[in-house]
């Protein structure tokens, strides 16, 4: 039913088509791109941004924004590494990073929901706060994170596939299931679509507002643990600017910044588009100065195409 | 002399012919009503006239010459201006700035606004519409009626020759409406013609000269107002005889199920009312009298002092105050809000998602939604309420007003309410769907529900209620039965003239 254009709009196929086109073009431009080892490499590089993007998708679906995910990543990574340094079990350290992320996210959500502060301002403030806390804790120096087995989280493989890729994939599947098949997800969409109508339908929206920031924080914490594990140290400046790449992934993936529309599969595709462009430009030996500009342009084009389609529908 | 002639206008959207050979002729200095149910094609026709949509077929003659209107700007330059139901005013700018928004050029030198000339020019147009406030007053401080006048002044400043007014009285008080009609008359005498879109039949007979009726995108006919009557027009609109406009059946109200005791807050003063099972209780009064505020307080949306009692069996029993709609819903209350687009519906969501929202938990196991149950439920309500839709996944924003309202009713019926709060349930709903809503109310009361009906349409209020409370400035100033109410007595109470306690209550 309907023209190809309406089908593309209905199932949000635009980002996927864009991704495939980029893959085809890069495959022709360099034969080093479409190899298993390179693709696995890209997948691993993309996993951190995807995790942050998935968390942000929850937040953005409610019409909010979370600028603090990069800072939470750094704080959670540093505190996890600190625990590891005290001789605790690696699994405990990872769980601790996740807990730190969860608590930081819950703080964001509480400020937004009960303090009635605009999400942009609230998370701008906490971003600075978490960054500062990280610097205080690390005294501005990297913290070594070496322990038996800890490296498998970020640097290991399950079969031929890097562990972070598998974890990220499972997170995307789980988040997608929650958003599309569970009452929680439906209420998050509803809240972003029309908060007042949702309250009137008997949904306690403050609860869900806090929840989305908690999810975002939790995934940032997990990303922090993965990054620390891969680098074998927690950097005080880790995750600097990651929030912007994550927001870009969400938006390229077709989630509306105004809330109510979108999903995590789109975000995964958006993160892949960004990661593959980075990778392709590297393989093509484009200078890193140009890389930034090209990436910016591609994001702009993606969003403009998306707007056109939205206006047409 | 004809000002406008639209002939054989046809418009197709993918998969649907929304206009099929429609004619419309507007004479000079005429108020011409455009009548039809929602979805009949009125707004599409107006969008073609104002250049928002292109047409597939047909021709438009304006001032005797064939014209091809390519955009709203061109229409405006020709003197065709539409005043939309939702105003296009910037709330924090002044009246003067709003009137000349986008056409400030004559009042500027090198881009700097000459305020005194702008204000003077605004006064001219404001006088024409009888708006007696300072031109520098911000729009946000005006009443709905005054905003309407600003819109008209704005149209006049664009040298409007043909004014299109879409439901201009929907939110006006009786007094504001009378004033609007006076101004319309004076505009006519100044050489303007008006296309008047309204669902309120009485108004057409008060103000219009001729009427054109559309049904399902077809042209049904054009009649002179003095030569027709409400019954004939309704029959033309719906294509069948609607025997009774208010098919009220008398029920036997039984036990009290809701008691509101001494409710007071910002908008309410010591309000006490009660509702019985099987009864429709009307809440009347002017805009801002506190009717909506009372419903909101009962439903747990606004803080309030006082107490309410829900009397039922077992868990439904309640005494106290609701602090969130969730508590109200859990005790068998449901509320159809006045503003269905902002408060009742999630417009960009599907019919199914809207119907399901308040009762998600009923069709889920461990938080996972059971899709088959959900679509069964959706189909049930599409059938039961005769919702005209392409299917459960159609977005509600593309439904007509009446069908949107049916979705709102459906989502609440699924909560199995015992008490229904209906705030202006038929506003912006066409005649056919109105009667369906009335019939639904009757069916629900016969099943033992109690309904509180808020309505600004006095005939609807009297036609559908068993008892009526009248409010004025947050107080209950009158209490009538259906039998002993008169429009006069009602207006006395609604305007604060007298307190009235009906005999035998």
Task: Determine, for residues B343 and A200 on separate chains, whether the beta-carbon distance falls below 8 Å.
Answer: yes
For residue B237 the two structure tokens come to: 């609109």
Q: Once rounded to an integer, what is the mean pLDDT over residues B264-292?
A: 92
Question: Is the pLDDT higher at B356 or at A288?
Answer: B356
- Nearest in space to A203 (alpha carbons), one of A178, A176, A180, A185: A185
For residue B392 the two structure tokens come to 């459960």
Q: Which residues of B touch A196 (CB under 8 A)?
A: 342-343
Check A198 against B346: CB less than 8 A apart: yes
Q: B51 near B79, Cβ under 8 Å?
A: no
Closest CB to A202 among B356, B358, B369: B358
pLDDT above 50: residue A312: no
Fold of the domain spanning A35-303: ABC transporter involved in vitamin B12 uptake, BtuC (1.10.3470)
Instruction: Give the pLDDT confidence score for residue B489 in this predicted structure.
Output: 83
CATH code that applies to domain B2-238: 3.40.50.300
Residue with tokens 């709003």: B98
- Of the pLDDT bands very low, low, confident and very high (cuts 50, 70, 90), residue B497 is low
Query: Which residues, at least 6 apart from A156, have a Cβ–Cβ distance to it below 8 Å?
Result: A162, A163
Is 90 exceeded by the pLDDT of residue A98? yes
Percent of chain B beyond pLDDT 90? Answer: 55
Find chain A residues with C-beta within 8 A of B368's C-beta. 181-183
Question: What is the mean predicted confidence (pLDDT) over B457-481?
Answer: 90
pLDDT-derived band at B43 (thresholds 50, 70, 90) equals confident
At residue B117, the 3 state secondary structure works out as: helix
CA distance A131 to chain B (A): 36
Q: Using CB atoms, which residue from A2, A3, A196 is nearest to B342?
A: A196
Domain with CATH 3.40.50.300 in chain B: 2-238, 256-501
User: Contacts of residue B346 in chain A, CB cutoff 8 Å?
Assistant: 190, 193-194, 197-198, 260
pLDDT at B32 over 60: yes
Please determine, for residue B504, whether its predicted confidence score (pLDDT) is greater than 50. Answer: no
The answer on pLDDT for B243 being more than 80 is no
A95 pLDDT more than 80 = yes
| Per-residue pLDDT reduced to its tens digit, B144-202 | 788 888 998 998 888 899 999 988 887 777 788 888 899 899 999 989 999 999 877 78
* pLDDT of A303 strictly over 90: no
Q: Within the 290-319 window of chain B, which residues sit less than 8 Å (CB to CB) from chain A?
A: 299, 301
- In whole angstroms, what is the distance from residue A264 CA to residue A251 CA? 11
CA distance A53 to B3: 59
Measured from the Cβ of residue B77, the count of other Cβ atoms closer than 10 Å reads 12
Across the interface, do A193 and B348 touch by the CB < 8 Å criterion? yes
Grouping H, G, I as helix, E, B as strand and the rest as coil, residue B459 is helix
Class of domain B256-501: alpha beta
Contacts of A190 in chain B (CB under 8 A): 346, 349, 353, 357
Using the Cβ of B367 and the Cβ atoms of chain A, whether some distance falls under 8 Å is answered with yes
For the record, the structure tokens of A274 come out as 């960004």
Q: CB contact, 8 Å: B369 with chain A?
A: yes
For the residues of B318-339, what is the DSSP string, one character each?
EEE--SSHHHHHHTTEEEE-S-
| pLDDT value at A114 more than 80 | yes
- Whole-angstrom Cα distance, residue B276 to residue B259? 9
* CB-based contact, B344 to chain A, within 8 Å: yes
Pairing of strands B57-62, B65-67: antiparallel
Q: How far is CA A277 from CA A162, A294, B289, B353, in A?
A: 20, 9, 61, 37
Per-residue pLDDT averaged across A62-89, rounded?
96
Whole-angstrom distance, CA of residue A81 vs CA of residue B120? 71
Predicted local confidence at residue A264, as pLDDT: 96
Strands A233-234 and A143-144: antiparallel
Q: Does the pLDDT of residue A214 top 60, yes or no? A: yes
CB A101 within 8 A of CB A71: no
**Per-residue pLDDT tens for B85-99?**
777 888 889 999 999
**Distance (Å, whole) CA B356 – CA B308:** 28
Percent of chain A with pLDDT over 90: 80
What's the Cα-to-Cα distance from A307 to each of A121, A174, A190, A298, B488, rounded to whole Å? 26, 28, 22, 14, 55
**pLDDT over threshold 80, residue B245:** no
pLDDT tens digits, one per residue of B195-231: 999 877 788 899 999 999 998 889 999 999 999 988 8
Residue with tokens 């993936």: A253
Ramachandran bin of B41, using left for φ above 0, alpha for ψ from -120 to 50, beta for the remaining angles? left
The model's pLDDT over A124-178, given as tens digits with 9 standing for 90+, comes to: 999 999 999 999 999 999 999 988 889 999 999 999 999 999 999 999 999 999 9
Chain A interface includes B373 (CB < 8 A): no
Across the interface, do B342 and A187 touch by the CB < 8 Å criterion? no
> Measured between alpha carbons, how far is B143 from B95 in angstroms, rounded to an integer?
12
Query: What number is the average pLDDT over the span A269-287?
Result: 92
If one compares B41 and B467, the residue with the highest pLDDT of the two is: B467
Phi-psi category of residue B210: left, alpha or beta, with phi > 0 → left and psi -120 to 50 → alpha: beta
Ranges of H-type helices in B219-345: 230-238, 291-298, 325-330
Residue B411 touches chain A, beta carbons under 8 Å = yes
Q: Would you put residue B366 in left (φ > 0), alpha (ψ -120 to 50) or beta?
A: left
pLDDT tens-digit map of A29-44 = 999 999 999 999 999 9
- Angle, nearest 10°, between helix axes B371-384 and B401-413? 120
For position B175, what pLDDT does the model report? 80
Q: Do A199 and B347 touch (CB under 8 A)?
A: no
Six token digits for residue B216: 């399902």
Q: Do B337 and A200 touch (CB under 8 A)?
A: yes
Cα distances (angstroms) measured from residue A313 to each of A3, B10, B124, B348: 12, 22, 42, 11
Per residue in B104-152, pLDDT tens? 778 888 888 888 888 999 999 998 888 889 999 999 888 878 888 899 8
User: Which residues have C-beta within 8 Å of that of residue B268, sequence separation ≥ 6?
Assistant: B290, B293, B294, B297, B304, B474
Angle at A17 between CA A14 and CA A23, to 5 degrees: 140
Q: Which DSSP state fits B115?
A: H
Q: What ipTM was estimated for this complex? A: 0.85
Task: Indicate the average pLDDT of chain A.
Answer: 92
In whole angstroms, what is the distance from residue B336 CA to residue A245 CA?
43
pLDDT of residue B503: 44
Mean of the per-residue pLDDT values of chain B = 88
Q: Give the model's confidence band at B499: pLDDT under 50 very low, under 70 low, under 90 confident, else very high.
A: low
Identify the CA nearest to B284 among candidates B440, B433, B464. B464
A220 burial via Cβ count (<10 Å: 0-12, 13-18, 19+): buried
* DSSP output for chain A: ---HHHHHHHTT-HHHHHHHHHHHHHHHH-TTTSSHHHHHHHHHHHHHHHHHHHHHHHHHHTT---TTHHHHHHHHHHHHHHHHHTT--HHHHHHHHHHHHHHHHHHHHHHHHTS---HHHHHHHHHHHHHHHHHHHHTTS-EE---TTTTHHHH-EETTEEHHHHHHHHHHHHHHHHHHHBHHHHHHHHHHH-HHHHHHTT--HHHHHHHHHHHHHHHHHHHHHHHHHHHTEE-TTTTTTHHHHHHHHHHHTT--TTSS---HHHHHHHHHHHHHHHHHHHHTT--HHHHHHHHHHHHHHHHHHHHHHHHH-
From the centroid of its chain, how far is CA A112? 20
Question: A217 vs B233, which has greater pLDDT?
Answer: A217
Q: What b/e sequence results for B396-423 when a residue is b if at least 16 CB atoms lie within 10 Å of its CB, and e otherwise? A: beebbbbbbbbbbbbbbbbbebbbbbbb
Report pLDDT for A313: 37
pLDDT for B398: 85
pLDDT of residue B457: 80
| Residue B498 reports pLDDT greater than 70 | no
User: How far A208 CA lies from chain B's nearest CA (Å)?
Assistant: 14
Contact of B418 with chain A, judged by CB distance below 8 Å, is answered with no
Whether residue B247 is predicted with pLDDT greater than 50 in this model: the reply is yes
Mean pLDDT of B485-490: 81
Q: Please check whether residue B226 touches A, CB under 8 A.
A: no
Non-local CB neighbours of B365 within 8 Å, separated by 6+ positions:
none
Contacts of A259 in chain B (CB under 8 A): none
> Does position A76 have pLDDT exceeding 60, yes or no?
yes
B391 close contact with A: CB closer than 8 A? no
Q: Residue A184: which of A51, A11, A61 has the closest Cα?
A: A61
> What are B309's two structure tokens?
């009692």
């Amino acid at each position: 039913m309907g023209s190809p254009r309406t089908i593309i709009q209905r199932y949000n196929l635009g980002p996927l088509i864009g991704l495939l086109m980029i893959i085809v073009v890069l495959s022709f431009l360099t034969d080093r791109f479409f190899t298993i080892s390179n693709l696995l490499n890209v997948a691993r590089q993309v996993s951190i941004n995807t995790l942050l993007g998935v968390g942000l998708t929850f937040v953005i679906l409610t019409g909010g924004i979370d600028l603090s995910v990069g800072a939470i990543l750094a704080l959670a990574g540093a505190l996890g590494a600190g625990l590891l340094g005290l001789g605790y079990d690696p699994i405990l350290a990872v769980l601790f990073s996740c807990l730190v992320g969860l608590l930081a996210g819950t703080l964001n959500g509480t400020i937004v929901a009960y303090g009635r502060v605009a999400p942009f301002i609230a998370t701008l403030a906490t971003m600075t706060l978490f960054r500062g806390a990280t610097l205080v804790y690390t005294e501005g120096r990297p913290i070594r994170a070496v322990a038996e087995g800890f490296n498998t989280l970020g640097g290991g493989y399950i079969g031929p596939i890097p562990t972070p890729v598998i974890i990220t994939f499972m997170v995307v599947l789980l988040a997608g299931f929650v958003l599309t098949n569970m009452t929680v997800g439906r209420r998050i969409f509803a809240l972003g679509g029309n908060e007042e109508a949702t309250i009137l339908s008997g949904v306690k929206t403050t609860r869900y507002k806090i929840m989305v920031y908690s999810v975002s924080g939790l995934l940032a914490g997990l990303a922090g643990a993965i990054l620390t594990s891969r680098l074998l140290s927690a950097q005080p400046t880790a995750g600097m600017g990651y929030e912007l790449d994550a927001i870009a992934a969400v938006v390229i993936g077709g989630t509306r910044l105004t809330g109510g529309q979108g999903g995590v599969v789109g975000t995964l595709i958006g993160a892949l588009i960004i990661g593959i462009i980075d990778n392709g430009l590297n393989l093509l030996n484009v200078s890193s100065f140009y890389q930034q500009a090209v990436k910016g342009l591609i994001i702009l084009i993606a969003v403009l195409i998306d707007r056109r389609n939205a206006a047409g529908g | 002399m004809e000002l406008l002639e639209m002939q054989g206008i046809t418009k197709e959207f993918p998969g649907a012919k929304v206009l099929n050979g429609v004619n419309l002729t507007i004479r000079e200095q005429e108020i011409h009503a455009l009548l039809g149910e929602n979805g009949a094609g009125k707004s599409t026709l107006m969008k073609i006239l104002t250049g928002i949509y292109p047409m597939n077929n047909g021709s438009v003659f304006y001032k005797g010459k064939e014209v091809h209107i390519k955009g709203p700007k061109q229409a405006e330059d020709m003197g065709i201006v539409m005043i939309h139901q939702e105003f296009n005013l910037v709330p924090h700018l002044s009246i003067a700035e709003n009137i000349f928004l986008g056409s400030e050029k004559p009042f500027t030198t090198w881009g700097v606004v000459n305020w005194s000339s702008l204000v003077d020019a605004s006064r001219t147009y404001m006088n024409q519409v009888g708006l007696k406030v300072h031109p520098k007053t911000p729009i946000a401080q005006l009443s709905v009626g005054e905003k309407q006048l600003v819109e008209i002044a704005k149209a006049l400043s664009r040298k409007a020759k043909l004014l299109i007014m879409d439901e201009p009285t929907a939110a006006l008080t009786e007094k504001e409406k009378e004033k609007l009609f006076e101004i319309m008359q004076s505009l006519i005498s100044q050489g303007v013609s008006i296309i008047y879109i309204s669902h309120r039949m009485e108004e057409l007979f008060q103000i219009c000269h001729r009427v054109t009726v559309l049904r399902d995108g077809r042209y049904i006919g054009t009649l002179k107002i003095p030569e027709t009557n409400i019954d004939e027009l309704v029959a033309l609109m719906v294509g069948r005889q609607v025997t009774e406009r208010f098919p009220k059946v008398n029920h036997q109200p039984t036990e009290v199920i809701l008691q509101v005791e001494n409710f007071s807050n910002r908008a309410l003063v010591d309000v006490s009312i009660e509702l019985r099972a099987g009864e429709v209780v009307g809440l009347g009064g002017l805009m801002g009298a506190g009717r909506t505020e009372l419903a909101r307080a009962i439903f747990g949306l606004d803080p309030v002092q006082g107490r309410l009692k829900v009397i039922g069996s077992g868990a439904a029993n309640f005494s106290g105050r609701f602090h969130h709609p969730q508590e109200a819903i859990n005790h068998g209350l449901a509320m159809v809000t006045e503003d269905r687009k902002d408060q009742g519906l999630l417009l960009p969501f599907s019919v199914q998602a809207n119907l399901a929202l308040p009762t998600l938990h009923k069709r889920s196991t461990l938080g996972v939604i059971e899709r088959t149950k959900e679509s069964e439920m959706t189909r049930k309500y599409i059938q039961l309420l005769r919702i005209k839709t392409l299917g459960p996944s159609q977005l509600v924003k593309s439904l007509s007003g009446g069908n949107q309202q049916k979705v709102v009713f459906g989502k609440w019926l699924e909560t199995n309410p015992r008490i229904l709060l209906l705030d202006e349930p038929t506003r912006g709903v066409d005649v056919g769907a109105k009667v369906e809503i009335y019939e639904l109310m009757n069916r629900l009361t016969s099943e033992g529900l109690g309904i509180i009906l808020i309505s600004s349409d006095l005939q609807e209020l009297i036609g559908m209620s068993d008892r009526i409370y009248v409010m004025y400035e947050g107080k209950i100033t009158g209490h009538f039965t259906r039998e002993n109410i008169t429009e006069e007595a009602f207006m006395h109470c609604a305007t604060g003239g007298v307190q009235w306690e009906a005999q035998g209550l």
